[in-house]
Amino acid sequence: MIEFLTEPWSHVFMQRAFLVVLMSGVVCGVIGTHVALRGMAFIGDAVAHAVFPGIAIAFVLKTSLVLGGIVAGLITALAVAVFSQNRRLKEDTVIGVFFAGAFGLGIVIMSTAPGYGGSLESFLFGSVLGIGNADVVTVAIGGAVLLLSTAALHKEFVTVGLDRETARSVGLPIFWLDLAMYAMVTVSIVISIQAVGNILVLALLITPAACARLLTDRIGVMMVIAPVIGAVSGLTGLYLSYAFNLAAGGLIVLTATAVFIACWVFAPRHGLLSRRTSRAHATKAVAVSVQP
């Protein structure tokens, strides 16, 4: 058992992978809590497509994929925030238009680069074992900025998430807060794409937050539980990948999904078993009360 836990750390590439997965799990858990509370799961999937052209351009120019993705995602998020001000169009419609278009642009750009097929596969399914030192530093800096920004804007995000009209009536800048949320989701997804890939990154953003939502009614506690679940799922999936020589990104997501299923069944107050027990007790109490 000790050897299973320590052996992967003897490899430098695994050390980098563990660091990135740990940081990605924590950051996505924190940001994902706000995404889940605001019912913005679609935005996570859409942003994962929006960052593609920036990553493609960075790949062609042989520069940082993380920075390229962040720039593309922020530009697209700004476009969505601006065009969504037209009340004839719903926000999800504008998101669908711009993010699908961005993904299409990314495919066209990527197709011009040598090694197109292999690079596209790495983007779609992740390449956490091939992460370099520069990427680890970029993820660390991006993650730290995100966590500090979330702490600074926490009250405002919660207010907007619970009641947008009340937030608007008290003078909160809804447009700028929405733009900040889009930007933060963008950065969190970009720094996680190398770990689990474009297709699976939504799970790292949403699943830990969904688990936390089942386990507690307090937002502050959710902000602690979600990143813990994200980090533990990432580390566990990476260990399993090393032990059984299977895809790291898929195992990370499957681990998080297994935790969600366990929470859905066994959560103390909102789990399936707890609800059934509560209904059974309520039925028994009613039956006793109506007896002559």
Q: What is the DSSP string of 87-151?
A: TTS-HHHHHHHHHHHHHHHHHHHHTTSTTHHHHHHHHHH--GGG--HHHHHHHHHHHHHHHHHHH
Neighbours of 130 (CB within 10 A): 12
Kindly state whether residue 129 falls inside one of the protein's structural domains. Answer: yes
Q: How confident is the model at residue 281 (pLDDT cuts 50, 70, 90)?
A: low
Q: How confident is the model at residue 95 (pLDDT cuts 50, 70, 90)?
A: confident
**C-alpha–C-alpha distance, residues 204 and 222, integer Å:** 15
Kindly state whether residue 168 falls inside one of the protein's structural domains. Answer: yes
Question: pLDDT tens digit string along 17-28?
Answer: 899 999 999 999
What is the pTM (predicted TM-score) of this model? 0.82
Q: How confident is the model at residue 156 (pLDDT cuts 50, 70, 90)?
A: very high
Kindly state whether residue 279 falls inside one of the protein's structural domains. Answer: no
Q: Which residues of 257-286 are buried (b: 16+ CB within 10 A; e: fewer)?
A: eebbeebeeebeeebeeeeeeeeeeeeeee
Kindly state whether residue 267 falls inside one of the protein's structural domains. Answer: no
Range of the structural domain that residue 7 is part of: 2-201
How much is the pLDDT for 96? 75
pLDDT at 191 over 80: yes
pLDDT at 256 over 90: yes
240 burial (CB, 10 Å; 0-12 / 13-18 / 19+) is middle
Kindly state whether residue 286 falls inside one of the protein's structural domains. Answer: no
pLDDT at 16 over 80: yes
Average pLDDT taken over every residue of the chain: 83
Kindly state whether residue 65 falls inside one of the protein's structural domains. Answer: yes
Q: Picking from 60-64, 90-94, 223-227, which range would have the lowest pLDDT averaged per residue?
A: 90-94
Q: In the chain, how many domains are there?
A: 1
- Alpha carbon 243 to chain centroid, angstroms: 25
Kindly state whether residue 258 falls inside one of the protein's structural domains. Answer: no
pLDDT at 292 over 60: no
Q: Which residues of 168-184 are buried (b: 16+ CB within 10 A; e: fewer)?
A: eeeebeeeebbbbbbbb
Question: pLDDT tens digit string along 198-239?
Answer: 767 888 899 999 999 999 999 999 999 999 999 999 999 999
* Domain CATH number, residue 45: 1.10.3470.10
Q: How confident is the model at residue 29 (pLDDT cuts 50, 70, 90)?
A: very high
Kindly state whether residue 248 falls inside one of the protein's structural domains. Answer: no
Q: Which residue, 147, 135, 184, 182, is CA-closest to 21?
A: 135
Report the SS3 class of residue 280.
Answer: helix
Instruction: Write the CB contacts of 163 (distance below 8 Å, at least 6 apart in sequence).
Output: none
